[in-house]
Amino acid sequence: MTRVAQLAAAVDNLRSAIVSEAVLREAIAIQQIAAPTFDEARRAEYVARRLTGLDSLEVDALHNVYACWPGVDRNRPAVLVCAHMDTVFDTQTPLTVQIQDGNVIAPGIGDNSLGVAGVLTLADILRKQSEPLPVDVWFVANTREEGLGNLDGMRAVYRKLAPRLGSVLVIEGMAYGRIYHAGIAVRRLEIRCTTPGGHSWLHFGRPSAIHHLVRLAAEIVALQPPATPRTTYNIGTIEGGRTVNTIASDASLLLDLRSEDCEILAALEAAVMRIVEVEHRPDVTFTVKVVGDRPAGAIPVDHPLVQMGSDVLQLLGVKPALEAGSTDANIPLSQGLPAIVVGITHGGNAHRLDEYIETQPIADGMWQLLLLTLGAANGLAES
């Protein structure tokens, strides 16, 4: 019998405390509070109220919410369990919820309302059902994971708690069955073009910021990054111009560059910069601003934390999928602090209005999270 199986048998009584319907109600309550990146304050207030009664409850300047379940030995490295609160949807997005064929369809329900609900539910179970654990367990709902947030919420969490921590569990609602043990490198650039502009008829022939920017964009999308190590790019937004009959004097795009290899990413960024330099013309100016820089990091697949995650999933009859991605775990991993990302259920259509989660796996997903937390607190993830 594995150590994980022994742990599961010893705490089997806690499994009855997991009520998937209650987890789902919590997720929907969170989802109904708009929380676009940089505007998470209202959701943070809700989370802080739910964590009332725990030790060291705090909401920081970035609206990260912290609370601690004190352990027996507060000097030993603690466990951090966290999930990001922000979503890609603005405050005007209808937060309609539909339930169809065992799925819940709602913008942001899986990314990451369910993840935050998992953290809150875990905190409830431990403080109501469990004796104090050997070490502290920190529960954090952090901000600024999506878009241009640049993981700044998690950066602040790391600065505050890093000296106390031994391991990190990052929760993403729809990642059940996967274990992210590596964080890929990400660079995000704002490329802006400016020209004198003018009237579309009177000044025809003058350079247009939009025309030059889309030509540059076409050259970027002609780049062929390597398939291995996996490397990608994406032009996420293009903005500019004033009216249909105005030669645009200003236009910009946001470019996302990612790679499993930092050197390959740097080479891709250098190729983009060469294109920018070539496209300079008289009265046509390009400027490039770095608006996102997510560091890379990883722990090996044979690390005890990864192995514990794999053992828990196998105990639940799930074949683990070991992954690399861009998540809040990038921050601790880049600093050498062991971290993995796990999920609570399956789902799809992330970042779309018809995003959905499956309800059936939620109980197993929460049991997984509970076992991982107990295992990490009891030293099963230590090298």
- Could you give the percent of the chain with pLDDT greater than 70? 100
- Report pLDDT for 130: 74
Going along 176-284, which residue ranges are E strands?
A: 178-183, 185-194, 198-199, 231-240, 246-247, 250-259
Q: Does one domain contain both 71 and 146?
A: yes
Average pLDDT, the chain: 96
Residue 230 has pLDDT above 80, yes or no: yes
Q: What is the pLDDT of residue 297?
A: 96
pLDDT of residue 250: 98
Residues 98 and 126 in one domain: yes
Residues 248 and 367 in one domain: no
> Which pLDDT belongs to residue 145?
98
Kindly report, residue by residue over 48-77, the tens digit of the pLDDT. 999 999 999 999 999 999 999 999 999 999
Q: How many separate domains does the chain show?
A: 2
Would 227 be classed as within a structural domain? yes
Task: Please name the helix (run of DSSP H) or strand (run of DSSP E) that holds residue 121, with its range, or none.
Answer: helix 114-129
Q: Does one domain contain both 305 and 260?
A: no
Measured at the CA of 73, the angle between CA 72 and CA 78, to 5 degrees, comes to: 100
The answer to whether residue 365 scores a pLDDT higher than 80 is yes
What pLDDT does residue 322 have? 98
Does some domain include residue 102?
yes
Same domain? 23 vs 126: yes
What Rg, from alpha-carbon coordinates, does the chain have? Answer: 23
User: Residue 257 domain-assigned?
Assistant: yes
What is residue 382's predicted lDDT score, i.e. its pLDDT? 87
Residues 176 and 196 in one domain: no
Percent of the chain exceeding pLDDT 90 equals 97
The full DSSP string for 128-196 is: HH-PPPSS-EEEEEE---SGGGTTHHHHHHHHHHGGGEEEEEEE-TT-TTEEEEEE-EEEEEEEEEE--
Using alpha carbons, list the distances in angstroms from residue 296 to 21, 224, 261.
37, 22, 8
In a domain, 133, yes or no: yes
Asked whether the predicted pLDDT for residue 246 surpasses 90, the reply is: yes
Average pLDDT of span 258-266: 95
CATH assignment at residue 144: 3.40.630.10
Q: Are 193 and 322 contained in the same domain?
A: no
Q: Which CATH number covers residue 233?
A: 3.30.70.360
383: in domain: no
Residue 25 domain-assigned? yes
114 inside domain: yes
- What whole-number distance in Å separates Cα of residue 374 and Cα of residue 381? 10
Per-residue model confidence (pLDDT) at position 89: 97
The whole-number pLDDT of residue 41 equals 98
pLDDT tens across 105-116, in order?
999 999 999 999
Query: Do 247 and 317 lie in a common domain?
Result: no
Q: Which of 294, 328, 352 is the last residue of a domain?
A: 294
| 3-class state of residue 232 by DSSP | strand
Lookup result for tokens 């954090």: 140
pLDDT score of 383: 72
Section 73-87 average pLDDT: 97
* pLDDT of 223: 97
Residues 259 and 368 in one domain: no
Name the residue type at position 286: F
88-131: pLDDT as tens digits: 999 999 999 999 999 999 999 999 999 999 999 999 999 998 78
Q: Do 83 and 178 sit in the same domain of this protein?
A: yes
The arithmetic mean of pLDDT across residues 229-250, rounded, is: 97
Burial class (CB in 10 A: 0-12, 13-18, 19+), 343: buried
Q: Is the distance from CB of 336 to CB of 163 less than 8 angstroms?
A: no
Question: Do 207 and 331 fall within a single domain?
Answer: no
- Find the domain containing 241 and state its range: 185-294
Sequence-separated (6 or more) residues with CB below 8 Å from residue 260: 182, 184, 185, 229, 230, 231, 296, 324
pLDDT at 1: 73
Last residue of a domain, one of 275, 294, 313: 294
Residues 102 and 220 in one domain: no
Q: Is 291 within 8 Å of 189 (Cβ atoms)?
A: yes
**Distance (Å, whole) CA 21 – CA 13:** 19
Domain final position from 294, 319, 352: 294
Express each pLDDT in 310-327 by its tens digit: 999 999 999 999 999 999
Q: Is residue 382 part of a domain?
A: no
Contacts of 25 (CB under 8 A, 6+ apart): none
